[in-house]
Chain A
């Protein structure tokens, strides 16, 4: 909340004659319940254009159009990437690389292909594409070339649709309004999903805006998960009780049905 307030203050304080981007989300809260099958988030907003530029419109000096990049990043976690190799005839995990901080979900939605609208330097500076966000844990030098492992992580996450590149998913209207629809998958990690909006022109980031989506388990799921981790003894006995009642009850019911 403090961060948001700070950003807001920053926005207000910005000089009027700069290009600005402001955005909002169709929802800031996602609840993971038993029948959660994914959720579609609408990201929308407006571009406030430089006053001088508006005045200059129509003259000889035409500016190139804006591009917008929307990045939704799931909570970061440590990930271990294992490699299999054949040992004594069978395929087993032989070595691994620990990646200290990897987003559990990462979607990049753009107006045009990312490589065409930003320079590699800008990408590295703002950590926009998924490759830029992954770092190998310090001190992990168990394998020679860790980049193979980060590439494998990107490949696996892209295949499971946890990392998405959504080219031309952001629509800009008359250089002022923009919107994008991003699909969140059914299997989400709990936590804050930071959403960054970048206003881009000529390969450079002109302005950015941040907000967040909060994903949490809800209802029965939340209760069971908490019980399992906070009171594992009670949870274990609950699991037993359910098994005994369901196992005995169902067969007693069948006996009743069969006997008329």
Chain B
């Protein structure tokens, strides 16, 4: 069934979109990630203009985070104060990212920029995740060798503007969470992702937040930042396609239910290795597109359209 996407201005098969949404939904359900980092590059491969893919990707993250946010708020596993600081940073970062995005699309280089951003971040994060996952997998097969220190003093604790984050049990400067928020906001605007894959490790390792509030707090930040990014992209570049988003969301929600069931049957360590490999695979695919000589060197762009 071909449908015409009013903003992307292309005709696509509705079942393909449901399939993409569903496939990413399964993976995001299995691994507990938003899936934006998979959906956006997949949309490139299906011929959706990158600007539309990024903006619509942000919209899709709103949908895939809402039920998680509500569940965490009910369970009170959200540090609202920390979340608000991260959110303020996120809004600043997203605004900056939107301006950079617009400037690059006027130069005709937005595709390259988005692709490079994907290679850089997925490559770094995938490698770090794989290292960490393999190490902990190795640890589970060997007997315990001591334990991690509960509290470490790092450079983070030497910064000014300290405040108390009661729910997380932390007394730290607001600057590190603000910086993390800004970084994630930029990623949301230029990559169409929630940024959980950067924020969660940063919250654990840099801020030393307890793991039980990390996911809820990051989701709290993600949903507001991606909501803001969606509206900002809609206003500045008219690049959010609700028709496209609708089919991705429906596929995604169904897929996530299936994925959660599969995830329950696998061990956490195996899941993390798989997720790391998946991130690296997406990175390699995007990188190859940049490195291999394309069969067609020319492309057409219509100014004012995506």
Interface residues of B in 220-257 (CB under 8 A from A): 227, 230-235, 238, 240, 242-243, 245-246, 249-250, 253-254, 256-257
Q: How many positions in chain B have a CB within 8 Å of any CB in the partner chain?
A: 54
Q: Given that A240-B59, A242-B246, A244-B63 are known contacts, is A228 also in contact with B302, CB under 8 Å in the complex?
A: no
B146 at the interface (CB under 8 A from A): no
Q: Are B6 and A232 in contact (CB under 8 A)?
A: no
Residue in chain B with minimal CB distance to A77: B302
Do most interface residues of chain A lie in helix, strand or loop, or is the interface mixed? Answer: helix
Selecting from A9-17, A121-129, A150-158, A164-172, the interface stretch reads A150-158
- Measured between C-beta atoms, what is the minimum distance from B245 to chain A in Å? 6
For residues 202 through 245 of chain A, which have their beta carbon under 8 Å from a beta carbon of chain B?
217, 220-222, 224-225, 228-229, 232-233, 235-240, 242-244
Flag whether B11 is at the interface (Cβ < 8 A). yes
A243 to B59, CA, bound (A): 7
Q: Does A19 contact B (CB under 8 A)?
A: no
* A149 and chain B: residue at smallest CB distance: B298
Contact: B234 with A91, CB < 8 Å?
A: no
Partner of A34 from the list B4, B63, B233, B253 (CB cut-off 8 Å) is: B4
Contact across chains for B4 and A32 when beta carbons are under 8 A apart:
yes
* Inter-chain contact B66/A248, CB cutoff 8 Å: yes
| Residues 35-67 of A contacting B (Cβ, < 8 Å) | 35-37
Q: Which 5 pairs across A and B sit closest by C-beta, in order of nearness?
A: A247-B63, A236-B234, A236-B231, A152-B298, A250-B253
Sample of 16 A–B contacts (CB below 8 Å): A77-B302, A80-B300, A81-B298, A84-B297, A84-B299, A89-B291, A153-B298, A156-B300, A157-B300, A235-B242, A236-B234, A239-B59, A239-B234, A240-B62, A243-B62, A247-B66
| Chain B residues near A (Cβ < 8 Å) | 1-4, 6-7, 9-11, 59-60, 62-67, 70, 108-109, 111-112, 227, 230-235, 238, 240, 242-243, 245-246, 249-250, 253-254, 256-257, 290-294, 296-303
Please give 9 more A-B residue pairs, beta carbons under 8 A apart, in addition to A224-B7, A239-B59, A243-B59: A35-B1, A81-B298, A82-B299, A91-B297, A186-B2, A187-B11, A239-B240, A242-B242, A243-B249
